[in-house]
């Protein structure tokens, strides 16, 4: 059925809000959730107050049943009536949601999106605390309620100390009229052609407010049946929680799916992704399965405490892709395969080959690793590394790749010299506390004025293990030095230690760490030549 575009219907805001409240104008679930920040919403309200156009609304009229949101904010919507043709918001959901939640009350008066209008300052305010409210703060949700608005006005008029009562009442009348008399063009599109609707949705959003990749794919994979892309993605994300390895984001899941579909991570249009998913829905389940296998490798073999410690998310995505292509489970990996993956992991971490890599370069890295893994060969990078200078790049920031790789490497060395239980305890501390596991041995102010190569670095950090469940004295009363594989006894934060002694200790410690990592860097580069 071809689309039938009719002339815009000019409706008052109040009429549109009533249609939504009565279940005659619905919010389809293939739309993204409400995401506008308060400033954006206030900008919309100011436009209406000043009579500035806010654009048209597009409505889809169809006989096709569509999953819809059961509430907007905390305001429940009625069950959809039995009318043959239903109307769904195709464009303008963010604007209409702002107005609906602003001008309506929930059953328990617990507004999701409560706005006030300061009648003296003539400004809108959002979700005020009790201390910020006063009698001249008019709740916007009474603006279309004649009785509620009248009561508010009467209460103000009863104030004996109100000198400018006429000005205040006049301002109420003006703001009320601005919203009651404001008109919005509503453009109907009548069709049962789902493909046409999803394409229209994509074109609208490509010109207006940006929709993230997941939401666009969700809209484009919808085909009129019960399949819900967002629900499936969220269900899989929740399943990852059982691995206790941190939050696997929608972005990582989508990138893994794209790579498994042999699509470019950045350049691929959502229409292509949705089309491929529609023709192979099992790709999501399979991608998730092998993503879990990759997590198990990094968690158990490389001792990565959580995804927050992984130098690059690409490492997880690419390993999951290799497992997907060869249908390999983690438990089935041979020792030779584990060594190949480990060498690749350390090589990509210490050479930082993903930093600034283009879409095409990432694709080449993926193809190279897949080929090497398939042939049981160590990773060979697709071009000679000539620009990376290990010495020049030896500095730290916890969020940076170089810090994460150092933590993981010295954790590896630590595990080689300690029992399984001791290693497990350190991994647990890192896993629970993340970057908070590291604290300065020295007060920062002591080193601020000193020009030295090792501050601020992880070289002057320690793990303070205060887990009460650990009975080993080394964890309870001393600083566990992960990098030197020994406890620090001679140096602490007491004032009797001279700053020169502290600096001397840190510099010595830094040099030891640097030399150990530099040798390891040379080894992994030699392996990949």
Q: Beta strand pairing status for 4-5 and 183-190?
A: antiparallel
| Rounded Cα–Cα distance for residues 105 and 16 (Å) | 16
Alpha helices in 104-182 (DSSP H): 146-157, 165-180
Identify which of 151, 284, 275 has the alpha carbon closest to the alpha carbon of residue 230: 284
- pLDDT below 50 — which residues of the chain? 1, 113, 208-211, 440-444, 454-479, 487-495
Query: What sign does the CA torsion over 44, 46, 48, 54 have?
Result: negative
Task: Identify whether 94 is preceded by a cis peptide bond (ω within 30 of 0).
Answer: no
Do residues 481 and 488 lie in contact, with contact meaning Cβ atoms separated by under 8 Å?
A: yes
Helix axes 213-221, 270-279, angle to 10 degrees: 50
Buried b (16+ CB within 10 A) or exposed e, 347-380: bbbbbbbbeeeeeeebbebbebbbebbeeeebbe
Please give the helix or strand (H or E) that residue 29 lies within, else none.
none
pLDDT in tens, 348-393: 998 888 888 888 888 999 999 999 999 999 888 877 665 556 665 5
**Residue 520 in tokens:** 């390891």
Residues shown for the chain = 529
Please give the pLDDT value at position 329.
Answer: 95
| Rounded Cα–Cα distance for residues 375 and 100 (Å) | 60
Please give the pLDDT value at position 473.
Answer: 41
| SS3 assignment, position 5 | strand
Residue 413 DSSP label: H
Q: Beta strand pairing status for 123-126 and 86-91?
A: unpaired
Number of C-beta neighbours around residue 285 at 10 A: 10
Identify which of 262, 271, 268, 257 has the alpha carbon closest to the alpha carbon of residue 216: 271
**Residue 315 in tokens:** 């490492």
Please give the pLDDT value at position 299.
Answer: 94
| Rounded Cα–Cα distance for residues 278 and 446 (Å) | 60
Do residues 354 and 314 lie in contact, with contact meaning Cβ atoms separated by under 8 Å?
A: yes
| SS3 assignment, position 118 | strand
**Residue 473 in tokens:** 């004295």
Do residues 426 and 411 lie in contact, with contact meaning Cβ atoms separated by under 8 Å?
A: yes
Alpha-carbon torsion, ordered 486, 492, 496, 502, to 10 deg: 70
Strands (E), 172-235: 183-190
Tokens 């060969």 identify what position? 377
Identify which of 60, 322, 59 has the alpha carbon closest to the alpha carbon of residue 184: 59
Please give the pLDDT value at position 264.
Answer: 85
Tokens 């020049």 identify what position? 392
DSSP result, 304-331: --SGGG-S-HHHHHHHHHHHHHHT--GG
For residue 501, give Cα distances in angstroms to 122, 146, 395, 454.
62, 76, 22, 15
| Rounded Cα–Cα distance for residues 127 and 133 (Å) | 10
Please give the pLDDT value at position 420.
Answer: 85
| Rounded Cα–Cα distance for residues 72 and 37 (Å) | 15
For residue 436, give Cα distances in angstroms to 429, 433, 462.
10, 5, 10
Do residues 345 and 302 lie in contact, with contact meaning Cβ atoms separated by under 8 Å?
A: yes
Please give the pLDDT value at position 26.
Answer: 87
Do residues 463 and 401 lie in contact, with contact meaning Cβ atoms separated by under 8 Å?
A: no
Please give the pLDDT value at position 464.
Answer: 47
SS (H, E, C) 162-190: CCCHHHHHHHHHHHHHHHHCCEEEEEEEE
Identify which of 176, 118, 171 has the alpha carbon closest to the alpha carbon of residue 142: 176
């Amino acid at each position: 059925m071809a689309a039938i575009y009719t002339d815009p219907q000019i409706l008052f805001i109040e009429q549109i809000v009533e249609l939504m409240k009565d279940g005659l104008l619905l919010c389809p679930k293939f739309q993204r959730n409400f995401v506008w920040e308060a400033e954006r919403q206030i900008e919309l309200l100011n436009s209406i107050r000043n009579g500035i156009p806010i654009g048209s609304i597009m409505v889809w009229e169809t006989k096709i049943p569509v999953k819809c949101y059961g509430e907007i904010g905390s305001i429940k919507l009625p069950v959809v009536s039995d009318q043959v043709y239903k109307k769904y918001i195709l464009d303008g959901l963010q604007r209409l949601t702002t107005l609906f939640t602003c001008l309506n009350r929930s059953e328990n008066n617990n507004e999701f999106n409560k706005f006030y209008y300061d009648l003296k300052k003539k400004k809108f305010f959002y979700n005020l605390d009790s201390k910020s409210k006063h009698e001249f703060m008019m709740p916007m949700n009474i603006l279309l309620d004649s009785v509620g608005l009248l009561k508010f006005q009467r209460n103000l008029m009863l104030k004996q100390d109100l000198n400018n009562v006429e000005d205040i009442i006049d301002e109420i009348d003006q703001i009320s009229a601005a919203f009651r008399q404001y008109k919005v063009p509503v453009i109907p599109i009548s069709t049962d052609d789902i493909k046409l609707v999803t394409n229209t949705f994509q074109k609208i959003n490509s010109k207006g407010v940006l929709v993230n990749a997941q939401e666009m794919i969700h809209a484009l994979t919808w085909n009129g049946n019960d399949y819900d892309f967002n629900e499936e993605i969220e269900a899989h994300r929740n399943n990852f929680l059982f691995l206790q390895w941190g939050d696997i984001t929608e972005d990582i899941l989508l990138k893994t799916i794209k790579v498994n579909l042999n699509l470019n991570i950045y350049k691929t249009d959502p229409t292509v992704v949705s089309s491929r998913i529609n023709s192979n829905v099992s790709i999501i389940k399979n991608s998730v399965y092998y993503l879990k296998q990759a997590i198990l490798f990094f968690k158990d073999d490389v001792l990565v405490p959580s995804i927050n410690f992984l130098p690059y998310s690409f490492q997880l995505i690419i390993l999951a892709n290799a497992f997907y292509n060869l249908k390999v489970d983690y438990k089935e990996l041979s020792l030779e395969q584990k060594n190949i993956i480990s060498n690749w992991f350390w090589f990509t971490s210490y050479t930082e080959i993903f930093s600034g890599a283009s879409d095409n370069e990432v694709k080449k890295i993926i193809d190279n690793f897949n080929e090497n893994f398939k042939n049981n060969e160590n990773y060979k990078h697709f071009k000679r590394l000539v620009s990376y200078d290990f010495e020049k790049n030896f500095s730290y920031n916890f969020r940076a790749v170089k810090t994460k790789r150092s933590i993981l490497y010295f954790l590896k060395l630590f595990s080689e010299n300690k029992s399984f239980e001791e290693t497990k305890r350190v991994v647990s501390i890192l896993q629970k506390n993340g970057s908070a596991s590291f604290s300065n041995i020295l007060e920062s102010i002591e080193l601020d004025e000193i020009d030295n190569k090792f501050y601020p670095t992880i070289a002057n950090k320690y793990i303070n293990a205060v887990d009460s469940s650990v009975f080993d004295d080394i964890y309870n009363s001393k600083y566990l030095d992960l990098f030197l594989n020994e406890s620090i006894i001679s140096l602490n934060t007491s004032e009797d230690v001279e700053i020169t002694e502290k600096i001397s200790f840190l510099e010595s410690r830094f040099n030891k760490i640097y030399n150990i990592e530099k040798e390891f860097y040379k080894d992994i580069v030699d392996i990949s030549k």
